[in-house]
Amino acid sequence: MSQHARDPQMDMSLREADPELSAAITSEALRQRDHIELIASENYTSAAVREAQGSILTNKYAEGYPGKRYYAGCEFIDDVENLARTRALQLFAGSEHVNVQPHSGASANIAAFTAAMSPGDAFVAMSLDQGGHLSHGSPVNISGKWFTPTFYGVRSDDGLIDWDAVERAVETAKPKVLIAGASAYPRLLDFERFARIAHASGAQLMVDMAHISGIVAAGLHPSPFPHADLVTTTTHKTLRGPRGGMAFARASAAATLDKSVFPGNQGGPLMHVIAAKAVAFKFALEPAFRTYMEQTLANAQTLAGALAACGFGVITGGTDTHLILCDVTPLGVTGKEATLALEAVGITINKNSIPGETRSPMVTSGVRYGTPAATTRGMGAREMEKIAQWSVDAIARRDDPAGLAHIAREVSELARTFPVPGRDATMLAEEGSR
């Protein structure tokens, strides 16, 4: 036998091979089980998505695209990427070309930027403090360092898109690209109107539907297709897939977009993640996904109403989407204080700037709630009412440790009756409680 002594660790389970790391994952499984997740950008993946993402596909280099790879041995990899591409195009009627390789939403955005612009070029986007995203021109992000942003926002009286500001920004900046899409906007976005404004001045419309792509896929939010020239999204928010991104272009700009992703911005694609994206798209094409999305929106409306009844200042008076933006000033706290009080009872949300914000982004006057994750676990109207009540109680008792501990017990009792999807999640958590 000429076989050398192969490293026995290579066949061990994670728990055997790395108990320290394994313990951290188990703790996180317990946290996920016992807390109610209301961060609008988070969700729980299916067991099948995680199985694909944890698969042997991670072993393969596949620079290039199906049929045009730089490495040998890519025939099955091509099947994987083609499945993801076909399903993505099926999911969004009117889409013409998709690239499923971006590693994240921000990576999809920089690929779209470099497909449509050269360094220094002007673009117009929603400002971060009015609901936009870091990757839409923040001075600390490459989008703001290498390109030249002009911002629009929302009206301070009603929290809705300030169309006059959009038009003014486009007229004065003469941008190459107008971006529509936000991280903290609870109402429908009128993509047709954005497209009219962009195209009238010779700009391209880029829609970043990172938050709402699941709602669009389910037909419950107007689609950016065919109005937008470029569309980007994450795959892990409402779409409920693995952490990742994708980008769409018109057929005429397909080669430009693909070159911008690879070799422009990335090296080898994460084929295990692309496989998991394909699984998520298959799920999203099924009627059960539409039912899930309908329930997510219904839960958001119930939660918005219940929070308003508890004294939260619900921005725009409600929501058309999965997220709710609230002014917590009427409750006598800052966004930071409210978030910390809720964290102490196991309800996870984030602080958020609100229209006309007077406090710093580290403090804020508002909070953001979202229902995709809780809805995935099966929570409904009754649970939303309880969450609103617990929220206001936790804020009122924020300096009373015994009071907070009492609420935390109620929260975790409820959370445990709605298991995180997947036998693996349940088993990990059971292991951790032993």
Ligand X SMILES: *Cc1c(COP(=O)(O)O)cnc(C)c1O
Residues binding ligand X (CB under 6 A): 41, 104-106, 109, 133, 135, 181-183, 208, 210-211, 234, 245
Q: Which is nearer to ligand X, 325 or 408 (CB)?
A: 325
Whether residue 237 lies in the annotated active site: yes
Asked if 273 contacts 234 with a C-beta cutoff of 8 angstroms, the reply is no
Catalytic residue among 150, 233, 234, 376: 234
- To ligand X, the closest distance from the beta carbon of 234 in angstroms equals 4
Helix then strand then coil, in percent of the chain rounded to 5, is 50, 15, 40
Cα–Cα dist 247/244, whole Å = 11
User: By three-state DSSP, how is residue 187 classified?
Assistant: coil
Asked if 72 contacts 268 with a C-beta cutoff of 8 angstroms, the reply is no
Whether residue 164 lies in the annotated active site: no
Please say whether the dihedral angle defined by the alpha carbons of residues 85, 88, 93 and 94, taken in this order, is positive or negative. negative
- What is the DSSP secondary structure assignment for residue 329, as one 8-state letter? G
Q: Which ranges of 35-158 would DSSP assign to H, the alpha helix?
A: 47-53, 75-91, 105-116, 142-146
What is the amino acid identity at position 65?
Answer: Y
Cα–Cα dist 32/429, whole Å = 9
Whether residue 208 lies in the annotated active site: yes
- To ligand X, the closest distance from the beta carbon of 121 in angstroms equals 19
- To ligand X, the closest distance from the beta carbon of 229 in angstroms equals 17
Catalytic residue among 63, 96, 190, 343: 63
- To ligand X, the closest distance from the beta carbon of 237 in angstroms equals 6
Q: Which is nearer to ligand X, 32 or 43 (CB)?
A: 43
- Please count the residues of the chain: 434
Q: Which is nearer to ligand X, 130 or 135 (CB)?
A: 135
Q: Which is nearer to ligand X, 147 or 390 (CB)?
A: 147
The two tokens of residue 38 are 């209301």
Q: Which is nearer to ligand X, 26 or 204 (CB)?
A: 204
Rounded to the nearest 10 degrees, how much is the dihedral formed by the CA atoms of 256, 258, 263, 264? 50
Name the residue with the smallest CB distance to ligand X. Answer: 105
Catalytic residue among 50, 87, 237, 368: 237
Q: Do β-strands 230-234 and 204-208 pair in parallel, antiparallel, or remain unpaired? A: parallel
- What is the DSSP secondary structure assignment for residue 261, as one 8-state letter? I
Q: Which is nearer to ligand X, 239 or 306 (CB)?
A: 239
- To ligand X, the closest distance from the beta carbon of 352 in angstroms equals 12
Exposed, middle or buried: residue 30 (CB in 10 Å: 0-12, 13-18, 19+)? middle
Whether residue 321 lies in the annotated active site: no
- To ligand X, the closest distance from the beta carbon of 135 in angstroms equals 5
Asked if 108 contacts 262 with a C-beta cutoff of 8 angstroms, the reply is no
Q: Distance of alpha carbon 367 from its chain centroid, rounded?
A: 17
As annotated, the active-site residues are 61, 63, 208, 234, 237, 243
